[in-house]
Chain A
Amino acid sequence: MLSDALEDGYLHVAQRRSESALQERVERLFVELRSDVYRYLLSLGLYPPQAQEATQEVFLRLYIALREGKETIRNPKAWIFRVAHNYGLKVRARTAWEQPYDPEVAARLADPEITPEMSLLERERARRFHQAVENLSVQQRRCLLLRLEGLRYPEIGAALGISASAVGEFLRRAIARLRSLTDA
């Protein structure tokens, strides 16, 4: 009886430690990646409050998924962007009557207070590059943005619901279009 109680106690302590370690891990990921996820959600057309709430939701879901252990998460970053992408699209679908959010990057780029260290020439170059990215097809742009976040082709494919080879093709086309700009 006593040994059972002791065993229960040890298990409880071990479980608490494991929970605490998991919480710390997810918290670290949250601090490290939340801005990237937030920006990606803005690129899907979510308004800043929606994007911020969705970002927080995604990390809470990550904790729940890891805690319940119902699915194997080999690469948490890829998982986070996949869930963010799907969740972001659902949020957009719920508010489809609204225009997608436009962060007006070009206008901000031109503002010397936001980018004080950039020369006029650099600003113009960045503006043209941004315009070229905006002119990519939706899938090309999403593949490019997710690749910029460090996701591999199969992970991007899993997030967007396409094959890894299709990701490669979208990226090839995107890079080819952007290259014509850098060559100019």
Chain B
Amino acid sequence: MPDGPLLHPDEGELLRYADGELSFWRRLRLRRHLAACWQCRAALAELERTIGECVRYRRQVLARCVPEPPEPWFDLRRRIEQWEAERAEVSLARRLWVRLAPGALTPQRLAVAVVLAALVWAQATLILRNREAPRPAPVEAAPAPAPLASPPPRAEPPPASPRPKATVAGPSAAPVEMATAGDELRVFALLRRLGADLGEPVEVSRQGGRVVVAGTGVSPEVERRLTAELGTAPRITLRFAAPASEVPPPAARGVVTAELRPETARLLAGLEQQLGGRANAEQALGELLEANDTLLAHLHALRRLAERFPPEVEAQLAVSERRLLAGLLAEHGAGAAALAASLEARARTLFAPGSLAAVESFPGVGVSWQEAAAELLRLARGAESRLATMLEGAATEESPGAPVREWLAELARLRVETEAFRRRFAE
């Protein structure tokens, strides 16, 4: 799935995750992704191994193979006391100046000032002579930057991760018949039956007269069943890339320590108070993301069907195939509607307890189910970015609750639209 929740993070993002530099929202998302993705866990483990080498290098090489300081370290306390004494002298001189300055300088005052200045100068000279090192310059207010000629380009392509050799199953003889949209539809139906169209990285396409079912890091059970069902089917090619051989355990919770923005911290503090602790709050947010991801997976599956079976292709399907397609729409439509309703209810319980769900009706979905599916996915993505905004702490001081309200409004709209889709196309 090219643009769903399964997008693999690049190496820079993995490093920022390992370094605790990701925002709260990205951290939650990535942690969930890592729990599911062997490939990325293996990549993270490789990063951690290199970081471990760096730490060892610091301990074994840097700490021991550079020369020791040539002299014993100075007595910092003594230096500080000298500075304090000097500061006291300067302060005295300033107080005297304040006393003398306001009125007109009479000859008597001038004489006193000269004598005092001479005394202060003599004392300061004495202190300066006693000092072993020059007086420190005032502390720099800002560091002198070492400017870059140009910022490093961010568009550098990520390094190619080692891709295992693809295994190809299926008949090797040239196809005698071209694969049809119906063949492709039957593959989608099979994926639905196996539950492999919600989150599994399986791509279906038609290439060179065959339906190609491809995936990298597909779970072994799904791969086994797909091979059993489709391995000998005509006009079908299976391409699976084996996952990385070394799979580390999922990243432990609490490894990352990114500081929360104040708004996010406030939001979490409210949740913690409501649910009785940080762990419960994070678990509740995790469940919310889980529901959100599953909803998005249904909507992605719908959108994928819409892309593969536009009206002109749909019109060429046989009656039985149309029935099959309608069955898929019904399953995804019902799943999406139920999840949208549950997501909104859960969100209201967590973030706006006691509030009532919006009851207003929205305009009906698009004219065709294909357009409606695309619109639903757009809405769900909008709601997800709103949630991200909320957890990124983009609320303003003037209206700290605005992102929450906007998110709940988007969820309400999503609920209404998915329900409308279900009634119109999925019953």
Binding site for B on A (CB under 8 A): 19, 23, 26-27, 30, 34-35, 38-39, 42, 48-49, 51-53, 55-57, 59-61, 63-65, 68, 70-71, 82-83, 85-86, 89-90, 103, 105, 108-109, 114-115, 118, 122, 126, 129-130, 133, 139, 144, 147-148, 152-153, 158-166, 168-173, 175-176, 178-179, 182-183
Q: In the complex, what residues of B have CB within 8 A of residue A56's CB?
A: 73-74, 76, 79, 133
- Chain B residues near A51 (CB, 8 Å)? 69
Set of chain A residues within 8 Å of B136, measured between Cβ atoms: 57, 60-61, 64
Please tell me if the beta carbons of B80 and A26 are within 8 angstroms of each other in the complex. Answer: yes
Interface of B is mostly: loop
Contacting residues of chain B (63-84) with chain A, CB-CB under 8 angstroms: 63-71, 73-74, 76-77, 79-80, 83-84
Given A109-B61, A160-B146, CB of A23 within 8 Å of CB of B77: yes
* Number of A-B residue pairs having CB atoms within 8 Å of each other in the complex: 162
CB distance from B336 to the nearest CB of A (A): 36
Is B143 in the interface zone, CB < 8 Å from A?
A: yes
Q: In this complex, what residue of A is CB-closest to B258?
A: A152
Chain B residue nearest to A107 in the complex (CB): B65
How close is B299's CB to chain A, nearest CB, in angstroms?
32
Which 9 residue pairs are nearest across A and B when measured between Cβ atoms? A161-B145, A108-B65, A52-B69, A172-B12, A179-B50, A103-B66, A65-B139, A169-B152, A86-B143
Q: 0/1 per residue, B20-60, Cβ < 8 Å to A? A: 11000000000000000000000000110111011101101
- B residues with a Cβ closer than 8 A to A are 11-12, 15-16, 19-21, 46-47, 49-51, 53-55, 57-58, 60-71, 73-74, 76-77, 79-80, 83-84, 133, 136, 138-141, 143-148, 151-152, 154, 159
Task: Give complex CA distance A126, B145 in Å.
Answer: 32
Given contacts A35-B63, A148-B55, 14 further A-B contacts (CB under 8 A): A27-B77, A39-B66, A48-B69, A49-B70, A52-B70, A52-B73, A109-B61, A122-B60, A147-B19, A161-B143, A161-B147, A171-B15, A173-B152, A175-B11
